[in-house]
Structure 1
Amino acid sequence: MSAVRGRAGLLACSCDFDLPDEAPRGAGSPSLALIAAGFSFSILAQALAFAALPIAGAILAPSPAATTAPVVLMLAGAALSTFPASFLTGLFGRRSAFALGASLGVAGAAIGAWGVASGQFAGLCLGAFWLGTAQGFGLFYRHAVGSSPRAIALVLGSASLAAFAAPAVVGIAQALVGPLAPAGALIGAGLAQVCVLMLAAPLPSAIELGEGERRWRQDTPGFIAVTVAAALAWFGMMLLMTGAPLAMAGCGLGLGAASSGIAWHVLAMYAPAAVIGASGWRPPAAPTTFFGLGLLAIGCVLVRLQTSAGGFDLALIVGGCGWSLATLGATQWIHARGEPPRALLALHDFALFAGAVAGAMAVTVFA
């Protein structure tokens, strides 16, 4: 216990979660780098899960209707964790909240891999749900850098690095375990969450990297509009990420081709934000959101016309760029109006994952 906390008459628990750091706040670059790296590993885990779960579900599902159940449960877990992720960061600090989310992801990856290896569809579904809760916490990283548009864009853009690692991890899994490659990919997702946990440990409990907190300026119609647009973008993104691997399998393309397509999609989902953040350009938030939604719609149409790996990759890239712009624009719009209430952030992220769940359930359009 520090001398500051140990004054007479003060009762304190030595296992306190995240008391405010005594170091100067607003350190800037070190915290931003940690947040960006943690978000990148979280997205790597997500990319590996999305590459493995549709195929594993198709193999283990007791009926064709249950094929997408693991993906739907993963997204449902993410949606349900948005409110805990938002409020726990305020109650216990960002360090504890992000570490909790990563721990749930490690457990989910282990259970999911066991389910694949043992042929237990229920185990796969349970692991997918816990992986989803980790993603709900991971998505909150983009809210942890304050109101700076450049910081938000850099955090989102950092996840483009996951696109380069995901195919390599899947390739290693295929080389090591062959037919159990989906289990190997889920183990890789668990290791990525371990990295998230390690990066969460040195985070300060309170991070002020933005342009200063300002009172939230209420704009309910605008909030509803950008949230609905972003949710529709997540709906379309999930149509692509869930349906494209199944459509590719129907064309005789295996897990390797599917993981490569998903990797290109993930790169396109975050590279535009990286470019915008690095350049310092600040595109208008609302128009960026709606332009991205239109671009994603084009990608969803294109993917239904493809029969080759290259064609699927192109459609996934177009859709990924659209999702990137829609998500970046919506996030920047919310934070540009001041310090958002935690309930509002949770509601926004819940709407995004709800759109993704609907997209996963509507994946039959690829049939």
Structure 2
Amino acid sequence: MTRQTTARRNIYVLTTAQALGAASPPIIVSLGGLVGQQLSEDPALVTLPVSLFNLGLALGTLPSAAVMRRFGRRSGYVLGAGFGIASGLVAAFGIFSASFLLFCLGTFTAGFYAAYVQSYRFAAADAVEGEMKARAISAVMIGGLIAAIIGPQIVIWTRDALPQTPYAGSFLSQAGLALLALPVLLMLRTPKETAALAGAGGGRSLGQILLQPRYMLAVAAGVVSYGLMVFVMTAAPIAMVGHGHSVDQAALGIQWHVLAMFAPSFITGRLITRFGKERVTALGLLLIAVSAVVALGGLALAHFWISLVLLGIGWNFGFIGATAMVTDCHSDAERGKAQGANDFMVFGTVAAASFFAGTLLHASGWQTMNWLIFPAVALVLMPLLLVSGRSGRALRAR
């Protein structure tokens, strides 16, 4: 089997695994705060289960990278699916036993699974070269489009499947999705030369990689695009229900949001090839700012849904563009360090944003949350525009 054939096969495998693995976060985001309201006596802690999911994701990034360097991507991904199965079962048992602590443990464990799922995009990029990296990343992220349908629909179909314990059925289904991912992940075939390089030492130190201005900008773009998305998405279902909208409407709002997160992946790789990574990333950040403008326009269901859709599209352009920028900043021997550090910083910030979201929503409200988007976007957008301007002049000079 040629390297090109293997790469194509792996992209199909990873896209399918993404469809199953990325369905878990919409379940947790849609129901985590609502279960928190049901089980927690402190209103300030209702979004803690979602925040702990993001904390588990952040804390899992470096260990998952180490596991994959030592044992290979396939073995690591199988272990990650095991975390996914355990997380759904523990969360469901927490609901059965009315234990907020156990439920939080389940969502925290789900974060470890998500740490492996998030690296699927890098696994796809590893086997291809040059501009094809952005397209490989986009192709795998299309699996999230299927997840955007699966996750929220599971919430709607199964949240009352066990009448005495609302929402438990959805978390049992989450465990089932991870179980289905196991045989898919076993089909992954990492090319021998890629496996060798992934485990190889050498290259620059992590400190030297971190000091690259382009790497720092790529990480900052990923931090802002993903951090703001989670900051708003964590609070959105609670805000919708709190302003008179139904649980099903909140779940559908998250579904449209997640669809918008992944649907542009059909064209994002081509846009990056045509206009450059920095410009597409900058466009994503601008759309995130526009989503805040819409959210500040009112509290009708349309305001919530349109804002969430724009937020999802902005995340897609911003995050895929930032990921593609990271792949330009390291050699094959350095990629484990560079990719792991990037994900640790991105998802560490995501975890902090998620924790802050619940407290801020309770203390200051939905409008305040959206006002905070503008300074964060401006902080990264200006250097991105400067770099994209220089890149554009360089391309025209060739």
Which structure has the highest helix share of the two?
Answer: 2
How far, CA to CA, are the matches of 2:117 and 2:327 in structure 1? 18
Please list, as runs of the form range in 1=range in 2, the aligned pairs for 1:170-185 lying within 5 A after superposition.
170-178=155-163, 180-185=165-170
Q: Deviations over 1:41-89 (max 9, x none)?
A: 1111111111111111122113122212111111111111101221221
Deviation at 1:123, TM superposition (A): 0.5
How far, CA to CA, are the matches of 2:287 and 2:320 in structure 1? 14
Match for 2:353 among 325, 336, 359?
A: 359
Question: What is residue 9 of structure 2 aligned with on the other side?
Answer: 30
Work out the number of aligned pairs and report it. Answer: 342
How far, CA to CA, are the matches of 1:61 and 1:206 in structure 2? 48
Deviation at 1:301, TM superposition (A): 4.2
Deviation at 1:299, TM superposition (A): 1.6
Range that drifts further, 275-284 or 219-228: 275-284
Please list, as runs of the form range in 1=range in 2, the aligned pairs for 1:180-329 lying within 5 A after superposition.
180-206=165-191, 220-277=212-269, 281-329=273-321
SS in 2 for 1:176: coil
Distance 1:261 1:99, change over 3 A: same
Unaligned runs of 5+ in 2: 366-398
How far, CA to CA, are the matches of 2:268 and 2:46 in structure 1? 38
Q: Deviations over 1:326-353 (max 9, x none)?
A: 1110111111344343121111001111
SS in 2 for 1:321: helix
The answer (yes or no) to whether the contact 1:289–1:326 under 8 Å persists in 2 is yes
Question: What is residue 344 of structure 2 aligned with on the other side?
Answer: 350
The answer (yes or no) to whether the contact 2:268–2:317 under 8 Å persists in 1 is no
The answer (yes or no) to whether the contact 2:20–2:180 under 8 Å persists in 1 is yes
Question: What is residue 132 of structure 1 aligned with on the other side?
Answer: 111
Q: Deviations over 1:162-192 (max 9, x none)?
A: 1222232122113523574422222222112
Which residue identity is paired with 2:248?
G
The answer (yes or no) to whether the contact 1:108–1:127 under 8 Å persists in 2 is yes
Deviation at 1:30, TM superposition (A): 1.9
How far, CA to CA, are the matches of 2:323 and 2:181 in structure 1? 22
Range that drifts further, 131-140 or 28-37: 28-37
Deviation at 1:246, TM superposition (A): 0.5
Distance 1:347 1:178, change over 3 A: same
Distance 1:252 1:349, change over 3 A: same
Distance 1:294 1:130, change over 3 A: same
Distance 1:111 1:305, change over 3 A: farther
Distance 1:310 1:246, change over 3 A: same
Deviation at 1:304, TM superposition (A): 4.5
SS in 2 for 1:341: helix
Unaligned runs of 5+ in 1: 1-22
Deviation at 1:269, TM superposition (A): 0.8
Range that drifts further, 291-300 or 47-56: 291-300
Deviation at 1:90, TM superposition (A): 1.8
Deviation at 1:35, TM superposition (A): 0.7
Which residue identity is paired with 2:276?
P
The answer (yes or no) to whether the contact 2:159–2:168 under 8 Å persists in 1 is no
Deviation at 1:24, TM superposition (A): 5.1
Question: What is residue 72 of structure 2 aligned with on the other side?
Answer: 93
Q: Deviations over 1:82-135 (max 9, x none)?
A: 012212212111111001011001101110111122210000110011001100
How far, CA to CA, are the matches of 2:292 and 2:115 in structure 1? 24
Q: Deviations over 1:292-337 (max 9, x none)?
A: 1222132234334442323211100001111111111011111134
How far, CA to CA, are the matches of 1:306 and 1:354 in structure 2? 31
The answer (yes or no) to whether the contact 1:230–1:293 under 8 Å persists in 2 is no
TM-score where L is the length of structure 1? 0.86
The answer (yes or no) to whether the contact 1:115–1:122 under 8 Å persists in 2 is yes
What percentage of aligned pairs have identical amino acids? 27
How far, CA to CA, are the matches of 1:238 and 1:130 in structure 2? 18
Distance 1:64 1:304, change over 3 A: farther
